[in-house]
Amino acid sequence: MSYRVTLIPGDGIGPEVTNAARLVAAATGVTIDWEIAEAGEKAIASEGTPLPDSVLESIRRNRVALKGPITTPIGSGFRSVNVALRQQLDLYASVRPARAIAGEGTRFPETDLVVVREATEGLYSGVEHWVDRDHTAAESVNVVTRKASDRIVRFAFELARREKRKRVTAVHKANILKTTGGLFQTAFREMAPRYPDIPSDERLIDNMCMQLVKKPEEYDVIVTTNLFGDILSDLCAGLAGGLGVAPGALYGENLAVFEPVHGSAPKYAGQDKADPVAEILCVERMLRHLGETEAADRVFRAVWETIAEKKVVTYDLALPGYTQRPVTPSSCSAMAGEIARKVPIVNPEAPLPRPWAVGHAQDPHLEG
Ligand code: NAD
């Protein structure tokens, strides 16, 4: 069977890591017909807009996309392509698993968390303005709706049930943000009793940050609003080995876009230096979504063995303090080549130690 998938290479390190991901996808033998759709800086140059309609149309048509990171200019200029894409396609659930691969690159080898972030509203609603003509005061509107809160909370509980996870924790700031935070909190409190098999609790965002860096092993599924989810998913990625190894997925009703947690890391652009693992694990999740379980298992196993061996790894996995023995960093393309080389020869059924032994992510839209 062959699949047509939209590919957005993105900006900065995006083209390098998406090329790496394509190399590994090709090594699985699954036929993927990539439909290239440029968004971001290249699209501004060629079409005058960072998010041409053709990109949205391509994703709607194919229903599955692999995306590289896209730069958002700070301050003036275009709105974030990432935020616009999520809103226009109603990709409401951003799922960001943080699991330490082979216990490497981290001080917390037991980390096994999933951040489920509402991705269409909150402080990213894009409603903001200057209060006065001199631009000495500004306001941003924090949009929280009952509908979006209910569906993201339900998504988190369903994910916890499917993946047999031990607990769902809602993170908010309802003590200060009494209406917006309070509405999200109410949605959570009214949904939780419908899932009596899944323990649940709540944390304020500030306390949650402290708890996570002290004892990440005590948490499991975290569900939260847009801004808190953005911050917590980077924090959790750091616990699990860094942005270089943190994949992610965005889900709408009938669409899935796979993109890493990391951004375009402009300082590494064009240097063949960035870690390709996050984007490669996006391919792994995408293959699972497509029902190509064995291919996904092979990709995961090849990533695992490459990281565990530590012969051909990028700079972020070779940093002193995170590795027992000195490692010479390899390039992005060399690491991708090593993973691709292993894909056909690994044993995808060999047992893995915890936390990976508990099973792979189950995709919510496989049957839809
Ligand atoms: P970033 O994630 O691009 O980089 C932060 C740091 O993390 C880098 O300097 C680097 O040290 C490390 N890093 C990131 N990816 C890595 C990789 N694959 N391998 C090794 N190290 C890696 O965050 P930033 O610098 O804050 O943002 C840069 C741009 O990316 C901004 O324009 C931002 O808006 C955009 N961004 C886009 C997305 C997205 O497309 N989904 C997400 C986050 C940020």
Listed residues 227, 255, 279: the one ending a domain: 227
Query: Do 292 and 327 lie in a common domain?
Result: yes
Domain assignment present for 362? no
Q: Domains in the chain: how many in total?
A: 2
Ligand 1 atom 34 nearest Cα: 72
Under 8 Å CB-to-CB from 236, ≥6 apart: which residues? Answer: 96, 98, 111, 113, 115, 212, 216, 222, 246
Under 8 Å CB-to-CB from 120, ≥6 apart: which residues? Answer: 86, 87, 90, 91, 92, 148, 226
Query: What is the tens place of the pLDDT at every residue in 198-220?
Result: 999 999 999 999 999 999 989 99
Query: Do 333 and 248 lie in a common domain?
Result: yes
Tell me the CA–centroid distance for residue 262 and ligand 1, in Å: 4
Q: What residues make up the domain containing 146?
A: 138-227
> Is the pLDDT at 355 greater than 60, yes or no?
no
Query: What is the tens place of the pLDDT at every residue in 56-111?
Result: 999 999 999 999 999 987 765 677 899 999 999 999 999 999 988 877 778 888 88
Query: Do 53 and 93 lie in a common domain?
Result: yes
Tell me the CA–centroid distance for residue 131 and ligand 1, in Å: 31
Give the pocket of ligand 1 (CB within 6 Å). Answer: 13, 17, 69-72, 82, 243-244, 259, 262-267, 274-275, 278, 316
Q: Amino acid identity of 284?
A: E
| Buried/exposed 155-170: b ≥16 CB within 10 Å, e otherwise | bbbbbbeebebeebbb
Tell me the CA–centroid distance for residue 15 and ligand 1, in Å: 13
Query: Do 249 and 223 lie in a common domain?
Result: no
Query: Do 223 and 253 lie in a common domain?
Result: no
Domain assignment present for 365? no
Q: Which domain CATH number covers 213? A: 3.40.50.2300
Domain assignment present for 359? no
- The 8 Å CB, 24+ separation contacts for 46-53 are 49/78, 50/78, 50/81, 51/81, 51/84, 51/85, 51/88
Q: How far does the chain reach from its first CA to its final CA, in angstroms? A: 18
Of ligand 1's listed atoms, the one at least distance from the Cα of 70 is: 40
Ligand 1 atom 38 nearest Cα: 263
| CA–CA gap between residue 86 and residue 80 (Å, rounded) | 10
Query: What is the tens place of the pLDDT at every residue in 97-107?
Result: 998 887 777 88
Query: Do 16 and 78 lie in a common domain?
Result: yes
Query: Do 287 and 193 lie in a common domain?
Result: no
Bridge partners of 257? 65, 250
Tell me the CA–centroid distance for residue 144 and ligand 1, in Å: 27
Domain assignment present for 367? no
Q: Report the 10 Å Cβ neighbour count for 194.
A: 10
Residues with a known catalytic role: 124, 173, 206, 230
Ligand 1 atom 4 nearest Cα: 265
Q: What is the pLDDT of residue 267?
A: 96
Query: Do 202 and 248 lie in a common domain?
Result: no
List the one residue out of 86, 95, 233 whose CA is nearest residue 155. 95
How much is the pTM?
0.94
Query: Do 77 and 148 lie in a common domain?
Result: no
List the one residue out of 126, 124, 11, 1 whose CA is nearest residue 67. 11
